[in-house]
Every structure is written in structure tokens, then in C-alpha cells.
Amino acid sequence: MSEKKRHIISIEKMQDDLRKAFNEKYPDGLESCEEDIKEYHKPSGDSFYAITIELPEDIYLVKIPVERDSFEDVENWLDREGESEIEQIAGSSMVPEAPDDTIPGTKELEDLSSADEEEEKDDIEDSDDGEGEE
């Protein structure tokens, strides 16, 4: 039995038989092959990511496009994560709510004092009216 031929091919350039084998192995597409993706290093220092698909006569390394995060992307993501954690701790908004200056129970006192003031006004008006009649 002869050794299988090895090939490297881009996912975009797969032939029908290879595409069929890929779909059988990964029915949910690229999302389901994440665990099998491996990084391969070239002698030039560059690298690529690929998965292995084996057919009866050949073995294929199928190149998968992988976006790597830059240092800035990671920092931005971490900053957003920190902000959302603060929001979860503080509430739904980063802007603090204005403090409630009223002391519990003072609303009733305000209502009573305004009622007393109205009674005093009525008393004063009544006494003014009475003085003018005499």
C-alpha cells in the first residue's frame, strides 16, 4: 500500500469531493471545527491555520482564515468588559443618580405645615375683614 499524498489548499479552492468530506466532518461549518484548527509555521516565519481532512487517497491541510486580535483590540475589549462590570455593580447607568434630599416622613410634615400656613392666612384675612367692619 502506497503512502497518501499530502496537499495544502485554501478552503475557498476546495474541490467537490473535498468539500463533501469537509461538510460530513463539520456539518455546522467553520464554527464546529474550531477545536481542530491548528497553527502551522512556515520557514519564512509566517504562519497559517488549517484543519486536516483525510480522503481515501489523499490527506489535505485545508487553510482556514483566522483573524488574530491586535494588542489594541484586546485592550479595547478589556476596557469595555471593565465598564460593563462597573455598570453591573453600580446599576444600569454610569451616571450616578441625584441623591434624594428628602428625609423619610418629611412629606407628611410639609403637608401639615402648608395646611397650617393656609389656616393662618385665612385667620389673618378673617381678622382684617373684622377690623374693617367695626
pLDDT in tens, 15-68: 999 999 999 998 888 888 888 989 999 899 888 999 999 999 999 999 988 877
Q: Could you give the CA distance from residue 13 to residue 6 in angstroms, rounded to a whole number? A: 16
Written as one letter, the residue type at 100 is D
pLDDT tens per residue, range 111-124: 555 555 666 656 55
pLDDT tens per residue, range 66-120: 877 667 777 777 777 666 555 555 555 555 555 555 555 555 555 555 555 666 6
pLDDT (0 to 100) of residue 79: 77
Domain map (residue ranges) of the chain = 5-64
Contacts of 26 (CB under 8 A, 6+ apart): 32, 33, 51
Exposure string over 14-24, b if 16+ CB within 10 A, otherwise e = beeebeebbee
pLDDT (0 to 100) of residue 77: 73
pLDDT (0 to 100) of residue 67: 75
